[in-house]
Structure 1
Amino acid sequence: MSKSAAGFFVLALLSGILHLALVQDAMVTLPLIACGIFSALFVLALIAGRKFKFDPVLR
């Protein structure tokens, strides 16, 4: 997992926990929206990390 993917994962977790801690009923809040955005960026960072692999052998 790349550093950016790990960062987006942590941000998604923190914003999700913040939403659950602040709101008791089911409503859309800014932390919930941020959680969705960070989750999507996490998945994109995972996909991008799989496509670009480092090849230490220079040919």
Structure 2
Amino acid sequence: MSKAAISFLILALMAAATDQLLLPSAESLSTLAKAAAGIFASLFIAALFVGRRIKFDPVLRQAKP
């Protein structure tokens, strides 16, 4: 897993935890934390796909004659 993917995963978990720890009266901050968690989770998935495409590129694995 790339450093970017790990970073986005940690940020998504932190945003989700922040949403859970907020008081019920802080509705706007809760919405903001949920949106941040969704964005970071999406970026985490994107970073996983990008890392996999670069790591397993068949052009890089060709044997040179």
Q: Could you say which TM-score interval applies, normalised by the shorter chain?
A: 0.7 to 0.9
Report 1:28-47 matches (<5 A). 29-47=31-49
Gaps of 5+ in 2: none
Deviant stretches of 4+, over 2 Å: none
**Number of equivalenced pairs:** 58
TM-score, normalised via structure 1 length = 0.81
Q: Residue deviations 1:2-39, cap 9 Å, x none? A: 000000000000000000110449x6610110000000
Q: Percent identity?
A: 42
TM-score, normalised via structure 2 length = 0.74
